[in-house]
Amino acid sequence: MDIAKMKKVIVALFLFIVSLALVRCSNREEKVDVGEEKEQEAEIVDLSQIEEKYDRELLNFSRSVLAGVLQSGSHSGLSSDNPYKYLHYGVFVTLKKDGELRGCIGCVYPSSTVEREVSDMTVAAALNDPRFKPVSPDEVRDIETEISILYNIHSIRSIDELTLKRDGIIVRYKDRMGVLLPQVAEEGKWTREKFVQVASMKAGLGPYGWRDLPVELYTFNCKVIKEEG
C-alpha cells in the first residue's frame, strides 16, 4: 500500500471513530433531563435533619451575595462543612420589602450545588425579575430573603393528588413551564383549581390550558428557610 492510500485509510478510520463518539454524545444529551432528575432523586437526604446553623449560614450567604453584588462587590462562600456546599437541589430565592414581593426567581432542576444556585438565584431575583425594577443598593438593608429548596418532584395524573400548603405545582407543556411554590397558595388562600390555573397562566397557556392541553403536571415539596420576625 502506497503512502497516499495509507493516508486515506487513516483519515477514514479517524472519521469513523469521531462519528462513533458523536453518536455516544448525542445519546447522552438526549437523556440529560432524565439524568438530572435521576441524579437528584438519588441524592435525596432528609433536609429537615440538616442543622439549623447551616440553614442560617445559607440565608446569611444569600444576603451577603445581594450586598456584594449591589454594594461592596465581593462576598464569601459557605464553610467547608456546610452540606449545602455539596448537595444538588432546585432552589428559589424570594426577596420581599415591607412584606411585599420584590423579586422571585429559581430553578427546578439544578445545574450546580445549592450554594451556587442560591448565589445565582439571589442575583437574578434582585436584578432580573421582569416584573420589578432592579433592587437598588439603598434597598439592601430593607430586603427580607427567603430560600425554598425543592425536593420530592414527581408527576401526578390529577390535581386531586395535590395537597395545598404542602405541595408546589409545575405545569409543563412542550418547552413552557409554570411553577408556583407551596407558600403561594397558602398566602393567597387559593383552591387547588385556582393554584393550577395561575401556574398554567405562568406557563403562557391561559387559565384552562392545564385542562385543555396534554400538559404534564408535577408536584414538589419545599424546605423553606427565611428570616425570623
Q: Are 157 and 83 in contact (CB under 8 A)?
A: no
pLDDT on residue 229: 61
pLDDT at 45: 83
Distances (CA, A) of 163 to 39, 83, 185, 197: 25, 29, 10, 15
**pLDDT for res 44:** 63
pLDDT at 23: 30
Is there a contact between 149 and 94 (Cβ–Cβ < 8 Å)? no
pTM of the model: 0.80
**Is the CB of residue 181 less than 8 Å from the CB of residue 168?**
yes
10-residue block means of pLDDT along the chain (229 residues)?
48 35 27 36 76 97 95 87 97 96 96 97 97 96 97 97 97 97 95 98 97 98 90
